[in-house]
Structure 1
Amino acid sequence: MTVRVGISGWRYRPWRGTFYPKGLPQRRELEYVAEHLRTVEINGSFYSLQRPDSYRAWYAQTPPGFVFAVKGGRFITHMKKLADVDTPLANFFASGVLALQEKLGPVLWQLPPNLGFDPGRLAAFFERLPRTTGAAARLAERHDQRLEGRAWTEPGEDRQLRHALEVRHDSFRDPAFTDLLRAHDVAVVVADTAGKWPLIAEATADFVYVRLHGDSELYVSGYDDAALDSWAGRIRQWHGDGHDVFVYFDNDVKVRAPVDAIALADRLTDLDLTEA
């Protein structure tokens, strides 16, 4: 079992000259993050399909053992609302995700606040998700013309592909929801959103995925020592129960995310240094 603590995204202008040393070239920011943390969440993939060259560059800029979580596209989650998504899923996986090779970690799917719990809709989506990189490569080959000439469909060594789901509607506070996730081996995202959206602190797969958006103010507030100690305790419990744990700080507005991530990782040094 392994614990990894990181940040959601890394290209933030306010971080330059604060977290990032003054004068550090933008092209070296990911490299700098990887000197301090063992994982990062790619969130540009949520807004648009990235390119294989970008994924290959990110792979090259990070050391062996580093892991990327990749956020699924909002076209799938927010516009299509998980319905009729065979081609969008193929396009997403053909966009270069598999070029991360052994550094590819969980895929994060974030639902919009206006999408409530619909067991049938979720089950149909879960059944379409590839569970290995080989299956993802076969799915990627079904991409449409938008990916012609820029698709990456090489699976590399066949590996497990994990999925996590973040929800933002109160109807998901239902035991039937977590039962459905367990049946499909999908991790519910343990999302701390300063009370705005549901916090479902359960393990529903063989790994736990945590997103820390802010302790008291969404995307803004940091985590004090007591809060970090509390999260460290939860993480130790999940790890002790046999789960891998991935934690990403998304409270980036006031440059708290990297500071808090490093502080939490320091509390888990004996676990965070475990080989994946």
Structure 2
Amino acid sequence: MESAMGGKIYVGVGGWTYEPWRGSYYPNGLKQKDELSFMAQNTSSVEINGTYYSTFKPDSWMKWRDETPDGFVFAVKASRYCTNRKVLSEGGESFDRFLSQGLTLLGDKLGPINWQFMGTKKFDAEDFEGFLKLLPREKDGVRLRHALEVRNPTFACQEFYDLAAKYGAAIVYAVDDEEPTWPQIDEATADFSYARLMSSREDEPTGMTSEELDAVAAQTRQWAERGDVFAYFISGAKVRNPAAAQALIAKLK
């Protein structure tokens, strides 16, 4: 959806294949092959998580592209083989393998790539800059936007923010009530924002109360002042996340 402030706001969830959604979110009788197109009618984006664990063939990327409407966008989680390594700047071959599997076939439906790091990964300025230097700005004529999801408190420092800004990478704003040590960084380091909201609760039909969703909507509108926003309800009470995404979309209209 367009924000009156400037950037577009995309709201969605992580993935679209989740058995407990069948009958609670997906209608009874909906074929599994139709779940993505159903999800795409009710949200504006999805974060593909399966890419963290494995690669997909070009046919899969083209299928996902063709099953979703114009304006729908996919964020893509980078492979763990790229981020779960002692020396990040030595991962060039892994980065190329991940980026060459076919994701650029999404074309203008390719949103940001989320490079997620484990909580044990500490900030090392030299190595992290070496990593950022290896991330291409485009591939196959398609723009690549990079988002950095860091989970160690050592990243909550100006040197990291400056590095991210130097290379135009967004820092993921991640909120998880069960992980108080994760840094919640809200810094404008790129021309887009990326949020992973992990606080949905099963006792709320829409994952969060209306007041809580109002606060998320207000924050999302603020981010939109500086560019596009990609916000995903992930983890938490996963069964409630599609409803949370739809409720947030309704509040942003």
TM-score, normalisation: structure 2:
0.91
Within 5 Å, give how 1:193-272 maps onto structure 2: 193-194=176-177, 196=179, 197-214=182-199, 222-240=207-225, 242-251=226-235, 253-269=237-253
Q: Distance in 1 between matches of 2:163 and 2:136?
A: 17
Give the aligned residue type for 1:12: Y
CA distance in 2, matches of 1:123, 1:70: 22
Partner residue of 1:186 out of 156, 169, 193: 169
Q: What is the Cα-based RMSD across aligned positions, in Å?
A: 1.7
The answer to whether the 8 A contact 1:222-1:251 is kept is no
Equivalent residue runs for 1:19-38 within 5 Å: 19-38=25-44
Greater shift in the superposed pair: 48-57 or 244-253: 244-253
5+ long unaligned stretches in structure 2: 1-6
**1:85 aligns to 2:112 (yes or no):** no
**1:70 aligns with one of 76, 79, 82:** 76
CA–CA separation in structure 1 for the residues paired with 2:239 and 2:61: 25
Mark the runs of 5 or more structure 1 residues left unpaired by the alignment: 134-154, 270-276
Normalised by the size of structure 1, how large is the TM-score? 0.83
Partner of 1:56: 62
Q: Post-superposition shift, 1:79? A: 3.8
CA distance, structure 1, for counterparts of residue 115 and residue 126 of structure 2: 17
Label 1:81 to 1:7 Cα distance change in 2 as closer, same or farther (>3 A). Answer: farther
Answering whether residue 144 of structure 2 is matched by residue 161 of structure 1, we say yes
Partner of 2:11: 5
> Residues 222 and 251 (structure 1 numbering): CA distance in 2 closer, same or farther, change over 3 Å?
farther
The Cα shift of 1:93 comes to 1.3
In structure 1, C-alpha distance between the alignment counterparts of 2:98 and 2:29, rounded to whole Å: 34
Aligned-pair CA distance for 1:178? 1.0
Which residue in the other structure is 1:150 paired with? none
Letter in 2 for 1:237: Q
The alignment of Structure 1 onto Structure 2 pairs a total of residues equal to: 242
SS at match of 1:256: helix
SS of corresponding position for 1:255: helix
